[in-house]
Structure 1
Amino acid sequence: MQVDEVEFYNRLLDFNKILYLCHRNADPDAVSSAFALAEALGGTVGLVDGYNKMAALLIDKLGIDVVDKPDPSEYDITLIVDTSTSSQLNDIKLGKYCVIDHHSTTALTENAEFYLHRNATSTAEIVFDILRCMDAPIMRRTALGLLTGIVTDTGHFKHATAETFHNVAEIVITSGVEYADVLEMMTATPQDISMRIAMLKCVTRATIERIDDWLVVCSHVNSFGGAASSMFLNIGADVAFIGTERDNTIRVSGRAKREAVNAGVNLGKIMENISLRYEGTGGGHAGAAGIDVVADLNEVLNECKERVRMILENKPNPSISEFF
């Protein structure tokens, strides 16, 4: 059952032992949202399968206590944070659970006791609304976490809306944290040599498809698929699909520039629809999404590309045409 922020908070008060569970390879949006709720309501931050480098920095700098691979049966309820599909939780047995999420599609809400879902640019913003409804103080650590979650999930504000900036301003005003503090913490994240090697290999394997004035890139790599797809947007692609393989399952990470999204590309819907063909899971945002299926990697990459082709053909690319 969908509830609002006040009802979500009130329902959580019925439980004494709460697990705030983050998706595998948890990002700052998931970790900061779970941490903020745990600080305000009590409970445990759980990691189902590790975290990315920025989240690792956040956990270290803010001193966040986390439990690795927790057992949901040991808690009164599991609050699943920033997660749209069960595959992102490695299909663990959940028991009684609720959901707070911002993705455009989320299958996990179907069997939830209750859930709070809104198409915000980050889950951290929804959590901030809950804290405001509670009249909870926004302490420094909480604010640093929420701001980092917002910045990273919006691609450093590339996908931000007016509401995003309003929320950021409110957090800064309420907490007294300076935005410069967030940037300083984020720039301390080292990029290890394994990621650098992966990015370079991914570039050498890339295929480029030109669709009128749009550029769609496909490639594959052993790890860091999400980072690689974002990298291709930074160096000229309008849409990028990067495949990785692990344990007979393939994952495709997709990213699209705002111009492509405005032209009709919705990667969350594309990934969700393709996943149904292979009885897998997929979804996410219009500009950033992923899919997990058991299938041939090249076949899935090609299908992703062809669906984008159908949308973008004969549509002008404003990033090109506006200068002529």
Structure 2
Amino acid sequence: MTPDLMAAGAQKLAEFQAKSSQDQGSGDREAAYGRLSHGEPDFAHGVALYLEDITVSFDGFRALNKLNLAINVGELRCIIGPNGAGKTTMMDVITGKTRPDAGTASFGSNIDLLRLRENDIAQIGIGRKFQKPTVYEQLSVFENLELALKNDRRARASLFSRLSGEQLDRIGETLQLIHLLPEAQRTAGLLSHGQKQWLEIGMLLMQDPKLLLLDEPVAGMTDEETERTAELFLSLEGKHSLVVVEHDMKFVGELTQGWKKVTVLHEGSVLAEGTLADVQANDKVVEVYLGR
């Protein structure tokens, strides 16, 4: 490349950066959309996720109304609230599916989530589990976990790839963790509903997530499956940050163990926070959610 072209390119880059700065200052994030400028998230301050004044409106209805929320590194936080409280919209904002009208969303101290696309957010370590399990039903349990491994997915690489001993060990450890080691060669479509939920969680874990968003993970599970799921989540606490949206108060009680913080959402903002006993005794929470 000639010096003239290099100089012209540098000038264009400077103009673009200046325009991006102006656009962001006026609240327009499109100029930086999809650009990850800070590398890996920095968790030195102990906060994994921070939402400040997040507002989302749909046709005049405020799904989120100046929502403020902080999740610490390694924390397991349960979020409860009535239908329409904004729980799903909150997760949509965190994962880049929905762009807020206002507010900030930070992953660690340096990553602005509102600048990133959905796939970028997944790549930096945020995994989401929807209520309905999504697995490859025609493949075995083992093959589902193999596909979820972080590696080169291009056709040629996939065709000639071989699992390393380390990868095999990792799949085996995950199978043990999600209670599916005896089912490793079973076709995923033959699993029970609860087992499919565990498999999808295992697939997320293969992606090395730093933050897991789990939407009503025990809906439709048997009592035994629910108990095992609580054990699984508690074993992940500390190694990952977990945000669990759930209506099952018994399950929430098992996860919070009487002392962990529970967040109650209502009409798009935080109504109350505290231990499960604290929020269950809160008159406002009783009125709008728990009932008398």
Q: Which has the higher contact order (CA 8 A, sep 6+)?
A: 2
